[in-house]
Amino acid sequence: MIEHTETLHTIAQVAITLIGFSGIVIVIGDRALSKWTHEESASFFGLIAPTLTALVSSFIPILVGMLTDMPEVTWRIANLFIGVLHLANILAFYMGTKNAKKTLGQNINGMIGALTIMAHLLASVGLLPWLIPIFLFGLLQQLWIGILNFLLLLNTRVGDPVS
């Protein structure tokens, strides 16, 4: 069995909670999806996609660990998986939200995300030795992005610019 199972389960629970908060954003903000600004849509994507990435990725080491008894292989595959998902998220965010003005926090997270993706991919091919810390940092960064965008959505009203 893979080590750190409790940590991974905790991260999954936080991700599930954060995904549930997306409903709160819609209700409290009294938002109809058709009335959202480009910035609000970008923030909503930034809430959902990274949080789902953290949720799904938190189970990968556990699932792969059931198939192999080689921890290094397990963590390399897990880093590859989250790295590819994170790359897909960042590309989709910037390509799908071209018309939205990004906040400083979103842009900083984009830069940190690019470095994190590189670390995941380098770890997956054995060029970086810190497999578990890199993987956990990636999970936590995905949660942080979701939390930041949740707060952005809570602090805006329909039609207000997201700052």
Q: In this model, does residue 2 exceed pLDDT 70?
A: no
On the 0-12 / 13-18 / 19+ scale of CB atoms within 10 A, 128 is middle
Asked whether residue 159 is domain-assigned, the answer is no
Q: In this model, does residue 159 exceed pLDDT 90?
A: no
Asked whether residue 132 is domain-assigned, the answer is yes
Domain residues for 10?
5-154
**Count of structural domains, the chain:** 1
| Contacts (Cβ under 8 Å, ≥6 apart) of 41 | 97, 100
Q: In this model, does residue 150 exceed pLDDT 80?
A: yes
Write the single-letter amino acid at 151: L
Residues in the chain: 163
Asked whether residue 94 is domain-assigned, the answer is yes
Asked whether residue 41 is domain-assigned, the answer is yes
68-88: pLDDT as tens digits: 989 999 999 999 999 999 999
> What local confidence, expressed as pLDDT, does residue 3 receive?
64
Span 91-97, average pLDDT:
86
Q: In this model, does residue 34 exceed pLDDT 90?
A: no
Asked whether residue 133 is domain-assigned, the answer is yes
Token pair 């790359």: residue: 87
122-139: pLDDT as tens digits: 999 999 999 999 999 999
Q: What is the mean pLDDT of the chain?
A: 83
> What local confidence, expressed as pLDDT, does residue 45 receive?
82
Asked whether residue 163 is domain-assigned, the answer is no
